[in-house]
Amino acid sequence: MDTEQLHSEDLIIRHLCNDLSSTEKKEFETLLDNDDSFRDEFEKTKQIWDAASMPPYDSEQDWQNIRNRINFEKQKEPSPLFFFLRVAAVLVVIFAVSLTLWTYWNVPGHGRWVVFQTGMTADSIILPDESVVFLNRNSFLKYKNTFAGNERKVELTGEGYFEVAQDLKKPFSLEIGAVTVKVLGTSFNVNSNREDGTVEINVTHGEVILKNSIEKIRVKEGEWAVMGTKLIDRGIIKDPNFLSWKTGRLEFNNSTLQNTVKILSKHFYEINNVQIDATSDVLVTTRFIDCPLQDILYELSLHFEKNFALNNGNLIISD
């Protein structure tokens, strides 16, 4: 922290403590009227100060208590220790308020930021603008408790389906690592759990702008795209199961054994590892809606005429 910033914070804190000299009061008022950054810092500090309901600060009484403790009342002139203690006390207040401010502005769950996190099951939340977000398991959403200003901004880790309320004056901005998704009012699924570290988006309604540090593209309803530090691929949605985690619906259309198992392992967290000890030329077309894994495995074993066994997270397919 540089000297000028420290001096500004000192003025603000001591103004709130009613401990400014007449000269300092004039300096404070001049900065407040002419310096935008100083005025912003004062408003933020005062907001936290008021919210904390701190009792009035009687600086003279505090200094008198210090004098009484170390017998300063017997001295005509304050010693260097007195000035050191006074500066130290001011610095302690500055540090405490600065720490409170930093926590308020930056730490989720302790101020303006709210965190919504899922565990082993999916869940949903309604944002301050009435947008609805469905989060897949083990996902993390961070957003401001109020969407003040001219933008609605959220951050996502994991996978989520967004139904964004339309607001032409306040675009919705979603950040996922190096990728940003901007929308006005639309519905889309975002997945950042891909093994290559990229972000996949499937737009079910409306249109979004997908961008990174070097390029941006428009992804329309019925389209998908994959982006990381650069655009990887895009096209028309052909995967009927990209939203199965939310709908509970699994579809297999002329699906091979390998592709079927791949879809199952992605959908069910109970499957940790797959071992295929058999081959099959059978193509399966079937559909499951909110079916338990064991029931699905039983039906697939009939279709493929193979044995599907799940033991301690290991799915083994054999003749």
Go through the chain and tell me how many residues it has. Answer: 319
pLDDT band at 237 (very low <50, low <70, confident <90, very high): very high
For the record, the structure tokens of 133 come out as 């977000």
* For the chain, percent of residues with pLDDT exceeding 90: 52
Q: What are the pLDDT digits (tens) for 307-319?
A: 999 999 999 999 8
Using 50, 70 and 90 to split pLDDT, how confident is the model at 17? Answer: confident
Mean pLDDT, residues 8-15: 74
pLDDT in tens, 140-199: 999 887 787 788 999 999 999 999 999 988 899 999 988 999 998 899 999 998 888 899
Which of 23-32, 164-173, 212-221, 231-240 is least confident?
A: 23-32
- Of 31-40, 126-135, 210-219, the least confident: 31-40
Average pLDDT over residues 102-119: 63
The least confident of 98-102, 181-185, 251-255, 275-279 is 98-102
Which residues contact residue 257 at a Cβ distance below 8 angstroms, ignoring those fewer than 6 apart? Answer: 276, 278, 279, 280, 282, 304, 306, 317
Q: Give me the pLDDT at residue 11, please.
A: 75
User: For the chain, what is the mean pLDDT?
Assistant: 82
pLDDT tens by residue, 52-66:
544 554 555 655 665
CB 104, CB 111: distance < 8 Å: yes
Angstrom distance (rounded) from CA 200 to CA 235: 11
Q: Which domains does the chain have, with CATH numbers?
A: 3-106 (no CATH), 113-236 (2.60.120.1440), 248-318 (3.55.50.30)
CA dist 260 and 300 (Å) reads 9
pLDDT over 70, % of the chain: 77
| Cβ-Cβ contacts under 8 Å for 120 (sequence gap 6 or more) | 137, 138, 269
Tokens 């000028």 found at = 4
pLDDT class for 110, splitting at 50, 70, 90?
Answer: very low
Q: Average pLDDT of 273-279?
A: 92
DSSP the chain: --HHHHHHHHHHHHHHTT---HHHHHHHHHHHHH-HHHHHHHHHHHHHHHHTTPPP--HHHHHHHHHHHTTGGG-SS--HHHHHHHHHHHHHHHHHHHHHHHHHHHSTTSSSEEEEE--SS-EEEE-TTS-EEEE-TT-EEEEESS--TT-EEEEEESEEEEEPPP-TTS-EEEEETTEEEEESS-EEEEE---TTS-EEEEEEESEEEEE-SS-EEEEETTEEEEESSSEEEEEE---TTTTHHHH-EEEEEEE-HHHHHHHHHHH-TT--EEEEE------EEEEEES--HHHHHHHHHHHHTSEEEEETTEEEEE-
